[in-house]
Amino acid sequence: MNIALTVDSVQQEALPSASEAGPAPKRIVVAYGFWIFLLSDIVMFAALFASYAVLVHATAGGPTGAQLFNQTTVAIETACLLVSSYTCGLMSLAVNSRNRLGTYLGALITFGLGAAFLTLEVREFADMIAHGATPQRSAFLSAFFTLVGCHGLHVTLGLIWLVVMMVQVAVMGFVANVQHRLLCFSLFWHALDIVWVGVFTVVYLMGVSL
């Protein structure tokens, strides 16, 4: 009895190497692959940030960021996205404990806040375009609409993905595949919030104060 216990504890200490353990469970492989994709997405955003930083003063006599940006709107957008990231985290907790009601509630709040963010952003763009600040006006505005629009496009895709996931939860329940996809979705949503931190700092706050 004692010996058996000792043997057991020894084997727990000495972990098998990766080749002995075999491939990792699918949940880990899927999430790790999606993490690699997210990092490549962030590299793409880095290129857009770099081109924006290069072109920010190339206004061609047109409006500058300080004249165009409304900090109140940006603050509300930031709060929406940050809180939706939080509710997305709570939703993934509900998914892990297979709590249907909590999942739907978390998804609903996440979707509502994401949609509010998107509405504010579209209204901001429409307002700028109505005042003649179109992407064609200057290199600065081309870079601005590319960077912020690309982020907005990601948010739009995330919202569509969230709706699809809720349909899958309703139809298929919490099967393994649906859980993997929900894990990838929460990774995607948190990564979008990290990109937005860069956007509101580099584009809006530095554009207004520097």
Partner 1 sequence: MTDVRYDRAPGDIPSEEARAWAPSEALVYTIGLLVALILTATSFWVANTSLLWPGGVGLGLAVLAIAQMGIHLVFFLHISTGPDSTNNVLALAFGLLIVFVVVTGTIWIVADLNDNMLMPSSDAMNMQMQRRSHE
Residues that bind partner 1 (CB under 8 A): 8, 11-12, 15-16, 21, 24-25, 27-28, 30-32, 34-36, 39-40, 42-43, 46-47, 49-51, 53-54, 71, 75, 78-79, 82-83, 85-86, 89-90, 92-93, 96, 183, 186-187, 190-191, 193-194, 197-198, 200-202, 205-206, 208-210
- Angle, helices 26-55 vs 139-172, to 10°: value is 160
Q: Let me know: does 186 contact 88? Beta carbons within 8 Å.
A: yes
Rounded to a whole number of angstroms, the minimum distance from the CB of residue 2 to partner 1 is 17
Residue 26, token pair as written in the block: 């699918």
Closest to partner 1 by CB, 116 vs 129, is 116
Residue 173 C-alpha from the chain's centroid: 24
Rounded to a whole number of angstroms, the minimum distance from the CB of residue 183 to partner 1 is 6
Closest to partner 1 by CB, 49 vs 145, is 49
**DSSP E strands, 10-145:** none
67: which residues sit within 8 A by CB, 6+ positions away? none
Closest to partner 1 by CB, 42 vs 105, is 42
Rounded to a whole number of angstroms, the minimum distance from the CB of residue 130 to partner 1 is 26
- Written as one letter, the residue type at 141 is L
Q: Let me know: does 107 contact 159? Beta carbons within 8 Å.
A: no
Rounded to a whole number of angstroms, the minimum distance from the CB of residue 60 to partner 1 is 15
Closest to partner 1 by CB, 60 vs 210, is 210
Closest to 150 measured CA to CA, from 42, 66, 13? 42
Rounded to a whole number of angstroms, the minimum distance from the CB of residue 75 to partner 1 is 6
